[in-house]
Structure 1
């Protein structure tokens, strides 16, 4: 099976397979973030851009240079797999520059609007309350809030954003099945072309151990991890010869094996959480018992949201219970021994 070629972060679009090119930007913590250009050689304005990288000036300059080169003249559609700022950052600018329609699922469009409305000081206050109720110290909370994603530099797509429903999408000379699923984000979009052997997965299926399922809202008691397991069940039925285009890292084959690997990682964390929840404890206490010091140092801002998702899944299964303390602190305790 031929391995697709890869491009360097920040480079001009480089073809990795027939009619598929990638633009890549560096990520400060995780592997580089991808934008995929599908069908640039198709007739008319049928080409597709999936995700648009960061809203920062460096990314904008790269995209402007690519537009000036004429490489995107055939693009008629820009699609967001999900609302996170490293994927939605240039969406409105690109769609306006190219005169292209902009698509996202209803859930992701709503989440993006909420993040933008809550950007800056409002978002920081919400995070501070979340971290406090998780049991983090004021100093620790302040450090984590300072590095959290800020959406104040994104402009809301508004009426220009069209809502994409589950079903089909004919674009870039391909007949895609549209899959809207929960997990890494509320209603992420994946595109599957079975006949053409292509699966555009966004951050729902990555070449490493991720994605992590992280949520920072204690009032939302949805079983997000359970929804993500439903998605992995679907992916487990895909043939090995389908090329997967992820939101980060390199394109790869073997979606089913990757889904099994990712699920096993989540299952190990669930088992570990049950093991350490031998008494009622806060999120902060459980994090210290679950994760090694290097994880706390590198990914500390992510871990509270990850633990809430893990605990929420066990709570939905009736294996863990949530306790609301009088001071607003949220505790978790193992059930059935």
Structure 2
């Protein structure tokens, strides 16, 4: 098993591209968060390019795309936009990009449906359903107000969705520029995250599924029906183990790297550690919001609070479904978790 090592010493400048494999370009766009960037990719398809993910909604992203298309693609157009999953830094600008350049959207059906749900946040019924979910975690009235505000912001984090073009599914094989790209689906971070692998190039387009220095959020959220995302996430990691250890992994965050199998093991170990912690914390009944500061001992607010609560619940439900914990609901509808 190889160690994890960066594949490149340089990072492409803002609005520039860097070739990372034959016919595969890497570009980086800024994000206004603590995680301050997203990696996007372009795959050569002969007479044009297929973009991998769109970036966050907004004029900054649009300007970066215009510069790249005008200056870095050898005069060849975009032919399609392939989005790995529905999160706004990946799908947010898809509506503009597809409309502005007349290209179709390629995405898995569950990811598209999850985005449609989020874009219905203005519905009072949807908002009430979401708030009831967060209330069951034991959130205070103040925390629920924060969640409501965050949900309203999320609805504006996307351009209007473009029509669903090519629906991606597990086992699909894309032929781009004379090369084959195998499509695998990974569940847990999102409902049906597309991961692509080219045997000819030895390259994986990993999206958020395998990141070299951070672990993707794996949580339970109202827009997703998965009640065991952590179990499905761990199964997804096992499926990716079939690809060679010396694969060049092109992630959506941090830098391209080698050492796939080592990183997969590190991710498994990280979640195993969280599960052990939660078992020790639940010797007496606890709500999710009582457990969040124990599992994530740093100040959390806004989106970070929602993500931490969702991930904590995913680990608790993993243990419940495997008879490690029991979940009970009190008279106010709040869930409590305790060891059997």
Evaluate the alpha carbon distance shift between residue 44 and residue 291 of structure 1 in structure 2; reply closer, same or farther with a 3 A threshold: closer
Residues of 2 paired with 1:21 and 1:180: CA distance? 23
Residues of 2 paired with 1:298 and 1:98: CA distance? 32
The 3-state SS of whatever aligns with 1:248 is: coil
Q: Which of 98, 101, 110 is residue 95 of structure 1 equivalent to?
A: 98
Residues of 2 paired with 1:244 and 1:65: CA distance? 26
Match of 1:15 in 2: 19
Q: Which of 194, 197, 217 is residue 192 of structure 1 equivalent to?
A: 197
Report if the CA contact (8 A) 2:118-2:223 is conserved.
Answer: no
Q: Say if 2:58 is the partner of 1:56.
A: yes
Report if the CA contact (8 A) 1:184-1:211 is conserved.
Answer: yes
Match of 2:109 in 1: 106
The alpha-carbon deviation at position 81 of structure 1 amounts to 0.3
The alpha-carbon deviation at position 119 of structure 1 amounts to 5.0
1:297-318 alpha-carbon deviations (Å, 9 max, x no partner): 9933321111111111111212
Residues of 1 paired with 2:43 and 2:334: CA distance? 48
Match of 1:228 in 2: 233
Match of 2:7 in 1: 3
Residues of 1 paired with 2:323 and 2:248: CA distance? 38
The alpha-carbon deviation at position 135 of structure 1 amounts to 0.9
Evaluate the alpha carbon distance shift between residue 277 and residue 313 of structure 1 in structure 2; reply closer, same or farther with a 3 A threshold: same
Residues of 2 paired with 1:218 and 1:177: CA distance? 28
Residues of 1 paired with 2:226 and 2:163: CA distance? 30
CA RMSD of aligned residues (A): 2.6
Match of 1:289 in 2: 294
Query: What is the TM-score with the length of structure 2 in the denominator?
Result: 0.88
Match of 2:131 in 1: 128
Q: Which of 33, 36, 40 is residue 41 of structure 2 equivalent to?
A: 36
The alpha-carbon deviation at position 23 of structure 1 amounts to 2.2
Moved more, 321-330 or 15-24: 15-24
Structure 2 unaligned residues grouped into runs of 5+ = none
Query: What is the TM-score with the length of structure 1 in the denominator?
Result: 0.89
Match of 1:151 in 2: 155
Evaluate the alpha carbon distance shift between residue 334 and residue 217 of structure 1 in structure 2; reply closer, same or farther with a 3 A threshold: farther
Match of 2:256 in 1: 251
Report if the CA contact (8 A) 1:236-1:260 is conserved.
Answer: no
The alpha-carbon deviation at position 73 of structure 1 amounts to 2.6
Evaluate the alpha carbon distance shift between residue 296 and residue 289 of structure 1 in structure 2; reply closer, same or farther with a 3 A threshold: farther
Residues of 1 paired with 2:231 and 2:274: CA distance? 14
Residues of 1 paired with 2:134 and 2:231: CA distance? 23
The alpha-carbon deviation at position 103 of structure 1 amounts to 0.4
Higher relative contact order (CA 8 A, sep 6+): 2
Residues of 1 paired with 2:126 and 2:29: CA distance? 25
Match of 1:173 in 2: 178
The 3-state SS of whatever aligns with 1:239 is: coil
Match of 1:69 in 2: 71
> Matched residue pairs, number?
332
